[in-house]
Amino acid sequence: MPSFVPHPRPQPEKRNLQKVPFVELFDGRLQGVVSSGSSADRVYVSLIEAGTGNFYCSTNNNRPCGGLGGGGGCKHIGEMVNNAIAQYGAERVARYLGVPEPQTSAYGLIGSLGGAKTKVEAGEVFARFLDYLRYVELPASTEPRPEMAWFVTG
């Protein structure tokens, strides 16, 4: 009986899975999970709402992101947008969000829509990320995986 050797998932060309392990256009939002630049066991949930351009960023424990300013979001939202564009293309991202012209930056997307910081619970987005991980992990082994490192606590 041939043994099943899991192949690594093919990675889209320009996406940085270390930095942004999860990004999607879903439920009227561009939303994603972004690794913290400073702490290996913290992630941020970033999102931009279609139509309004309203945006938010917080840790998976709902602590507001300290870098979340007034007009253009934070560096996590910026990373999320970069990776969304790498995955979906600038045109599709702009169309989904309702921006007339393709934009290549978070500032451009949010600015075109006139969005403002608007609190959204990170939990609902983070739960989708965990579901997604469960899905992609299914055929793989039970060995510890480096990309799961931030879930280790204590």
Q: How far is the CB of 124 from Zn ion (least distance, A)?
A: 17
Residue 94 interacts with Zn ion (CB under 5 A)? Answer: no
Q: How far is the CB of 140 from Zn ion (least distance, A)?
A: 30
CB nearer to Zn ion: give 105 or 137: 105
Contact with Zn ion (CB under 5 A): which of 55, 76, 87, 120?
76
Residue 125 interacts with Zn ion (CB under 5 A)? Answer: no
Q: How many chain residues are in contact with Zn ion, going by CB under 5 A?
A: 6
Please, which residues have CB within 8 angstroms of residue 79's CB and are 6 or more apart in sequence?
Answer: 16, 19, 20, 34, 46
Residue 33 interacts with Zn ion (CB under 5 A)? Answer: no
Q: How many CB atoms lie within 10 A of CB 108?
A: 17
Contact with Zn ion (CB under 5 A): which of 25, 33, 74, 80?
74
Residue 65 interacts with Zn ion (CB under 5 A)? Answer: yes
Contact with Zn ion (CB under 5 A): which of 57, 99, 109, 125?
57
| Nearest in space to 32 (alpha carbons), one of 21, 23, 42 | 23
Contact call for residues 106 and 93 (beta carbons, < 8 A)? no
Using CB under 5 A as the criterion, which residues of the chain lie in contact with Zn ion when the complex forms? 44, 57, 65, 67, 74, 76
